[in-house]
Amino acid sequence: MTGRFAPSPTSDLHLGNLRTALLAWLMARHAGVDHLVRIEDLDATRVAAAPEVAARQLADLAALGLDHDGAVVWQSERVALYAEAAASLPTYECYCTRREIAEAASAPHDDGYRPYPGTCRELSEAERARRRAERPPALRVASDHRAVTVHDRWAGVVTGVVDDVVIRRNDGAWAYNLAVVVDDLAQGVTQVVRGDDLLSSSPRQAWLARALGGVEPTYAHVGLVVNAEGQRLAKRDGAVTLADLAAAGWDAGAVLALLGASLGLCDAAERVSARDLLDRFDPDTVDHGSWTWRG
């Protein structure tokens, strides 16, 4: 078994990301397996400042004592792997705009995801040539539109109908869903612990893993950290990053106690290390649900 934490270097890690990072580390260390770190920096426009943000993310993990095995892997250095995987899948070009998909698709799912109705799947070559001249295409994998079920360690049974997932975006970037699956397979990751905003993506990713000749990892999705209004934590919620908290007088032991308390492992007033939390950790009893940060 192997676990991992895979942040996107779009902004500094906040308490929600740190709580997920801690839990992923606890799960791997408790199982006695390798824990990898992968920087998911494929979205060039969103990660323009990637090296500095990623460096701060890695420094924050180290400051909390969340060590990892092997070298940090950067997705931007692995595009040849994604191209090779894409070439092994049945794919087609898609020229649809978001608006066209919204107009043609059935109602969005609860998480806002709109299954692709397959508009571009059956176009003639002449039609493709005409539309390609208008708009750079995205690349989709032709799926069989079956319902796929995954068993999440904490969320239980999650079923989703797998549509024709985008694997390369129309700006040329390899899509998150492809890269994450290719890398988890290539790196031998068998245990994925991450925020439950990605729970509904799991059936699509499990299907892709199988389509690539692999087996999906086990999943354990952790609840998000929300603010007092119940919204997903964000920068505007005040002191939410390790740097903000340090400026307000919190040392690593205090932040770990706060996160540990949110997981039911300690009292928030204690001073603990990641190793102390590991000694008290049990995946069957940990409080993995959503947690409210009141600042």
Among 89, 123, 198, 254, binds ligand GLU (CB under 6 A): 198
Among 14, 56, 140, 194, binds ligand GLU (CB under 6 A): 194
* Per-position DSSP letters for 61-89, written without gaps between them: HHHTT---SS--EEGGG-HHHHHHHHHTS
Are the beta carbons of 65 and 273 closer than 8 angstroms? yes
Nearer to ligand GLU, 141 or 181 (CB): 181
Cα angle, residue 192 at apex, residues 140 and 12 outer, rounded to 5°? 85
**Minimal distance, residue 130 CB to ligand GLU, in Å:** 36
Are the beta carbons of 208 and 178 closer than 8 angstroms? yes
Q: Is 7 annotated as a binding residue?
A: yes
**Minimal distance, residue 5 CB to ligand GLU, in Å:** 7
Q: Is 94 annotated as a binding residue?
A: yes
Residue appearing with tokens 């290719």: 182
Among 8, 143, 190, 191, binds ligand GLU (CB under 6 A): 8
Task: Decide: is 186 part of the binding site for ligand GLU (CB under 6 A).
Answer: no
**Minimal distance, residue 113 CB to ligand GLU, in Å:** 15
| 93: Cβ contacts below 8 Å, ≥ 6 apart | 120, 128, 132, 137, 138, 139, 140
H-type helices in the chain, by residue range?
A: 15-31, 50-63, 79-87, 98-104, 125-134, 176-186, 202-211, 242-247, 252-262, 274-280
Task: Decide: is 101 part of the binding site for ligand GLU (CB under 6 A).
Answer: no
Q: Is 273 annotated as a binding residue?
A: no
Q: Is 176 annotated as a binding residue?
A: yes
Binding mask 144-183 for ligand GLU (x = CB under 6 A): ------------------------------------x---
Nearer to ligand GLU, 40 or 237 (CB): 40
User: Binding segment for ligand GLU among 2-10, 61-69, 141-149, 167-175 (CB under 6 A)?
Assistant: 2-10
Q: Which residue in the shown chain puts its C-beta closest to ligand GLU?
A: 194
Task: Decide: is 21 part of the binding site for ligand GLU (CB under 6 A).
Answer: no
Nearer to ligand GLU, 168 or 221 (CB): 221
Q: In what order do the strands lie in the sheet with 138-141?
A: 91-94, 138-141, 166-168
Both tokens of residue 257? 């106690």
Q: Is 40 annotated as a binding residue?
A: yes
**CA-based torsion, 194, 160, 102, 89: positive or negative:** positive
Cα angle, residue 27 at apex, residues 203 and 110 outer, rounded to 5°? 30
| Residues 23-62 contacting ligand GLU, CB under 6 A | 40
Nearer to ligand GLU, 43 or 276 (CB): 43
| 208: Cβ contacts below 8 Å, ≥ 6 apart | 141, 165, 167, 177, 178, 181
Binding site for L-glutamate, by residue number, is 4-8, 40, 176, 194
Q: Which residues bind ligand GLU (CB under 6 A)?
A: 6-8, 40, 180, 194, 198
